[in-house]
Structure formats: C-alpha cells, structure tokens
Structure 1
C-alpha cells in the first residue's frame, strides 16, 4: 500500500531564507481516539526532529490552524483507496492520514501486522514530501514508496534533503554513515 504521493524532486521545497522556521498544526477535530493526543504530538515532534537534525530548518508546533505552514490530520471518508497517507499542496502543505486504519506507535518491523501502521514511520516519510523529496527506490530509505517501518534517515535521504536546503554535504557517504551510526548529525548552512 502506498504511503505518499510522488513529486518532482525539489519542485515543492520551501523557498524561504535559511535557517528557516516552519510551523505545524495537528488537528484536534480530524483526529483518532486510539492514540492519545499528547502521544500523537510527541510522534510528530520526533518525526520533524529527524529532518531538522540534518537541515537548517526548525519545526514548531502551533495551536493556530490558520497560521500554520503545515496542517496534519486524520480523515474519513478517504478519497484515495490506495494510500494510507498523503501530502496535499494547496498552496499550504497538509499531511492527511487515513483515520480508519489501526495506527500504532513504537512498533517495528515484524511486529507490524498487515492491519497496523506505525504512525512515526509514515510521518517521517510524509514530512520528506513536505520538504520536497520524491519517492526512493531504496528500501532502506524513509522515502521508499511503501512503508516498511523505516524511521531512520538513510544516507540517500540526508544527501537529497541537504541538496534541496543547501546544507553542507558530508565528504563521503561512509563518513555520513559513521556519523549516523554514532548518533551524530550536523546541518550547516553554506
């Protein structure tokens, strides 16, 4: 099952001076009851932080729907039977999740059933679209078109988003891989 839309790489990236601040709003109306709202908020904070660790973009949650750069919600009825989530550009960016699915938190790999979806893994993927990234053919990438529960950004994910947001690229993929494996991310504006 697809988890996002395809976009032209970089076409939909944010066009603001760096470092950049973007606000996001999680709907209190379009929500689900299976996960408490504070836990949903924590999932999105972690998901946005994964990206802000590698690019000079800070994401700030706001209660102001109309003022938010990015709106997030869970919806039914669902107009796209193939997707579990997708990103809308209208011109605001909106991440929509299918409300009637079994959303889980902190469930990895083999623990996922065909009837459950890890909210954080899907959120990280959709945020990649919000930033302007295209689907990847790499199954280890969070931008892979089908959810496999991947939450950690791959070397490819980092290099692609840093290219869009003009962050200093690391000298080699092996250095980036070593830094990633040791929990170190650096984002520097060129």
Structure 2
C-alpha cells in the first residue's frame, strides 16, 4: 500500500506543482490558470517562506499542494503591521481528489506554521472545507481585505500559541503581496 508523504516543496517540485495547479484549476477559457503564475511569482517574492510550501506525494508523484505566504495586517491605530499568513492556492490532482489529500496537505502546512510560531492565517475559500481546520469568518475577527465583501468565504484561523506565549491576534486590513492582485 502506497502512503501519502507530506513535505516542504523543493526546487525539483516546481514543474510537478505547476502541473497539479494547472489540472486542479483548469478552465476551458484559460490556457494556464492564474494560480500557476501566482505561485511562481510568490516563489520569487519576499512573501515566500520555503518551509510553508507543502506538497503531498503519492507513489513518487506530487498530487497535492498547499501554500502559506506572508501577508501583513495593518491596524487603524498606526502600529507597525503585524505578520500573518495567507493560505492558497490549495490544489489536488483531479485523479486524487476527494480522498483526503487536500485536507492532509493543508493540515501539514498549518502544523508547520504553528511550529514556526505563526499566529494567524487567512484564506478565501469554501467554508465547508476550511471550517474543519477551525477557520471562521474573518470579518468577525476584525479582519478586512479586498475580499471582505464575499462574507463567509473570507476566513481566518488563529493558530495555537507557540512556546513564547499567547498574544492576541492582529485586527485590521490584511495586505497581500503584489502577485495576489493578478488573481
């Protein structure tokens, strides 16, 4: 029986990850889905955190992907922006969907973020899927973004506190790095 292996992306995974993204986000009206370019641009930005780009590998094939990158939360009070993470894109190869690979790779990314002492993750996605990880409406946590008006799909998760102690999660406008503006 082949098991699912979860690990951080390495440079040899770039093409397989692009194939998974292209297949998972395929649309008949677009040759290459924007998620493929988004990941490539994020890789070459200061938002990239190598330990938080997770792949799911089954039988030596990359079949899933979850990416956490740096965003900033700017409060109205003029305090310095607080670091946070954005989850996405998350993708699973179509032939491996609906068998738990997506949930496994997302959980691996969230676990890695917790180990690094990260405190807050935001996502725009299906509430039914992300609720299982503890995500809830971000607007109810005092977080806004260009996607705030979408309601339930704009979500946030406060990660468990690290050994350094518990600080309250930041509130304010979530500012995404420039590559996100193209999606």
- Scaled by the length of structure 1, what TM-score is found? 0.30
Give TM-score, length-normalised by structure 2. Answer: 0.30
Q: Larger % of helix: which?
A: 2
Counting strand residues as a fraction of each chain, which structure ranks higher?
Answer: 2
